[in-house]
Amino acid sequence: MGPSRYKVHHSVVLLLVCLLPLTTAEAAPPDDCLAYAYTESEHHAFLIQENSSNFGLTLKVKTDCERVSLWVDGYLVTTSNESYFEFEIEQGVHNITLEAEGFTGHYERVSFYPDRLNWEFEWLELSGANVEYITSSEADLKENWASFLSVIIAWFLSTYVFWQLVQAYVQRNFIEEVTN
């Protein structure tokens, strides 16, 4: 009873091991495709993902799918059969979805900011750090006044210091006459 029972279990295990690769090979989905989106600012690319901050307002989509659909905030904005396409997106926070046969990518709370040069200029305007320009004649006038006042201050300080040295010398060498 012991040796035959062992052979039966051994045969069942061997049969299962032989069938295992066949079942896993059939479970693989056929012809999956991939799509991704990104923005660019100068020489930097920003991949679209959940809670990401992206600079540049041109959304670029690359795919190897036959057909891909782009959804922004629940609205279908474009469908393309091309492997690459672009879409102009508004500044702000959006929910982005890329859909194709065999692929769905959903990205929530994706922040889009203008290109670096644009937002830097707007930030300077909004922060009140505006630069105020003056004319060349006004700059020359201010330069002349600064030179004149510098000469007066230098003369006053040198005269004051010299006067203090003279006073110290006189006080140290002062001889008082005493009369009876």
DSSP H/E element including 84: strand 84-88
Q: How far apart are CA 107 and CA 45, in angstroms?
A: 17
Domain ranges of the chain: 35-127, 135-170
Task: Kindly state the percentage of the chain with pLDDT values over 70.
Answer: 73
Specify which of 10-14, 24-28, 99-103, 106-110 reaches the highest per-range mean pLDDT.
106-110
Q: Which CATH number is correct for 35-127, 2.60.40, 2.30.29, 3.40.50, 3.10.450?
A: 2.60.40
Closest CA to 73 of 47, 96, 105, 104: 96
Torsions phi, psi for 172 (to 5 deg) = -70, -35
pLDDT, residue 133, reads: 74
Question: What does the pLDDT read at residue 2?
Answer: 52
According to the model, what pLDDT value does residue 178 have? 64
More confident residue, 131 or 156: 156
Report pLDDT for 121: 65
Name the band, by pLDDT with cuts 50, 70 and 90, for residue 23: very low
123 pLDDT higher than 80: no
